[in-house]
Amino acid sequence: MKKATIKDVAHAAGVSTATVSHVVNGTKFVSQTPRQRVLDAVDALGYRPSGVASSLRRQSSRVVGLVLPMQDQDTSAAFFTRLAAGIENVLSRHGYRTIISNSVENYDREREQIGMLSGQFTDFVDGLILAPTVDNGHHAQAAFAASFPVVYVDRLPMQLDHDVDFVGTNNYESTLDGMHALFGRGFRDIACISSPIDVSSMVERHEAFTESVTTRVGSVSDRVFVTESSYDSGYRTGREVLERFPQLDALFIANNTVAMGVIRALMDVRGEAASSTGLLVYDDYEWMNLVQPAIDSIAQPAFAMGQAAAGLLLERLNDPSGPTRHEVVPSQLILRSSSTQRSHR
């Protein structure tokens, strides 16, 4: 069936194509009678205006690109899903739609997505919100060179020479405060088990752990263990660490996917004695309320971060020449072992 055109609608409604355009796009007042005839013709013919053509005429598509690094069987997908929901919550209220693309934590795929958005569809996308993959410097430059505004979220490109718009959380301060809470309850022999320390958020968590432990017990060279971000890797590494260092009385686990495997290993290795082991984990999920030992966690404000990133992009779209800005949305430390909660400000 042939797709209806604006001329078909105008003919059916007995009006000009200009009148149809004004009704469909809301660009000029049209009195009730001809307006209703146009709307009836649109419904009868199934007419749908071309969003791309409209965007080219007005130099704005009201569409924003969103590139996120979600991996299969990784709880980071839940974090980035909440982040995307926060972004869409704000953008939709301002008449914007989003094109969501998954880089799967792969630089080549991310580069292709940025290239597509900044090349083939330049006139179709007004801006980009990007949570970059593992930082090798190249993807950051590619995004910075895009012809539309870019806001980085969750991860700040570490090798980018230019100042950029960025929304993140206080990884360093929240980790430091969580470590202080562990030490404050008497734990002394603490190790860190982490996914690769290759993005800014993980670097900040590692730096906070290092500072906290070094201040109290000296070198951390034998207290940081890095593994892949998976349940199996967490279990394997957790079991190796616990069997090799039976004196450990607490663990800081900087990645939630890894944490699930480590906690299973803790229960297998220590049995009932596992309940006396201190645990501090990124991020926070409902299942943590159901297990023992009690898990202290750092809950990242993914939805609020998404809202802030969308708001910052809207500001940049309204004022492309304004100064760049960094915005920090505080995380929350949840102390289940002492049944208290407090926010980091």
Domain presence at residue 336: no
Domain presence at residue 219: yes
Q: Give residue-wise pLDDT tens across range 283-342.
A: 998 888 877 778 999 999 999 999 999 999 999 998 888 899 999 999 999 998 764 333
Rg of the chain over CA atoms, in angstroms?
Answer: 26
Please indicate, yes or no, whether residues 44 and 69 belong to a single structural domain of this protein: no
Please indicate, yes or no, whether residues 191 and 220 belong to a single structural domain of this protein: yes
SS percent in the chain: helix, strand, coil, step 5:
50, 15, 35
pTM for this structure? 0.76
Q: Give residue-wise pLDDT tens across range 177-187.
A: 999 999 999 99
282, pLDDT greater than 90: yes
Q: Which amino acid is at 140?
A: A
Please indicate, yes or no, whether residues 274 and 325 belong to a single structural domain of this protein: no
Which one has a higher pLDDT value, 151 or 135? 151
With beta carbons less than 8 A apart as the criterion, state whether 288 and 281 touch: yes
Which one has a higher pLDDT value, 153 or 146? 153
Q: Quote the number of domains for the chain.
A: 3
| 162 SS3 class | coil
Distance from C-alpha of 193 to C-alpha of 205, rounded to nearest angstrom = 11
Cis peptide before 293 (omega within 30 of 0): yes
241: domain CATH number is 3.40.50.2300
Q: Give residue-wise pLDDT tens across range 32-70.
A: 888 889 888 887 887 766 554 544 444 567 889 999 988
Distance from C-alpha of 211 to C-alpha of 188, rounded to nearest angstrom = 14
